[in-house]
Structure 1
Amino acid sequence: MDQLDLNLLEDLTADGRVSYAELGRKYNLTRVSIKERIDRLRQEGIIEGFTITINPEAAGKHVSAFFEIDVEPFYLDSVAHALAEKPEVENLYLMTGSSTLHMHALLNDMEDLERFVLNHIYSLKGISRVQTHLILKRYKSRNGGLRL
């Protein structure tokens, strides 16, 4: 990857709908040249896809919660797969440190949060501890960041 590839990734992260022609004008290249570069980035797996960003609050999701979930090793995969299937779950990671799973979920309200915790977390076999953290204010949120 060269500097132009990095610039294109930055531009596409900011606006995934930007046209090849617009990018070509910005970098003094043809639309075809830009398309070929972006196609190569997709073929190499650097760009995995294009998506939209939804404003959770405008979509009725007023509670954004992070969960630290400790799981007994034997149950890790079954718990992770069960949680990953829930539509409320935005992200789910196996982490190092004091917690096994780190999860982000978007919920309608506090009652929805309570229902989710009781029915979809506490009900799973193998969970030994759950800590819930609510977002009070979002200073930065970047979709399309690096996937490690």
Structure 2
Amino acid sequence: MNTDNHIINALIKNGRASYADIAREIGVSRAYVRQRVQKLVDEGMIEQFTAVINPNKLGKSLSAFLDVKVSPQGIEEIANELANCPEVVSLYIMSDMKSLHIHTLTNDIDALDKFSQEHLFSREHIIDVDCKTLLKRVKNRRGGPRL
């Protein structure tokens, strides 16, 4: 594994790791790690340093995944509006250009229902909504927001 990959993996495990700690771990100087991290940031390899938050500690205990069918002429507008909702953690326009894949976090089923009523049901361009709630997390992406 090359040095940049070692640095990235160390930062994924602990975004607050010091350059000195990373340098000791991989056998290079602190200045070299600092220079490589700056280069990775400048090149866009590292987009941001962030915290991984436990949603349960914030009272966001219901994680739901929604597949929303949208008429193609409304997909960008609907996607942009939904992306601004605080309940929406992530949102993707899928390759068929008529589907949105949305991850939401809410306090409970009533909050999910309220979100669905206000932002999805009876909206022009929304054709169908398929919703599944998370039963158990087996593996989640490290190094990015869980929220």
Per the normalisation by structure 1, the TM-score is: 0.92
CA contact (8 A) 2:72 2:97 kept: no
| Aligned partner letter, 1:81 | N
Aligned position for 1:82: 81
Unaligned runs of 5+ in 2: none
List structure 1 segments (4+ residues) > 2 angstroms apart after TM superposition.
96-99
Aligned position for 1:124: 123
Deviations 1:15-34 (A, max 9, x none): 10000000111112111110
The higher relative CO (CA closer than 8 Å, separation ≥ 6) is in: 2
Deviations 1:67-123 (A, max 9, x none): 000000110111001100001101000113596110001000010011011111114
CA contact (8 A) 1:72 1:128 kept: yes
Aligned position for 2:57: 58
Q: Specify the SS of the correspondent of 2:57.
A: coil
Separation of aligned partners in 2, 1:124 and 1:43: 42
Separation of aligned partners in 1, 2:98 and 2:105: 20
Separation of aligned partners in 2, 1:11 and 1:66: 30
CA contact (8 A) 2:64 2:133 kept: yes
Overall identity of the aligned pairs, in %:
38
- Cα RMSD of the aligned pairs, angstroms, is 1.6
Q: Specify the SS of the correspondent of 1:58.
A: helix
Aligned position for 2:29: 30
Unaligned runs of 5+ in 1: none
Deviations 1:44-77 (A, max 9, x none): 0000010001100111001000000000011011
CA contact (8 A) 2:71 2:98 kept: no
Per the normalisation by structure 2, the TM-score is: 0.93
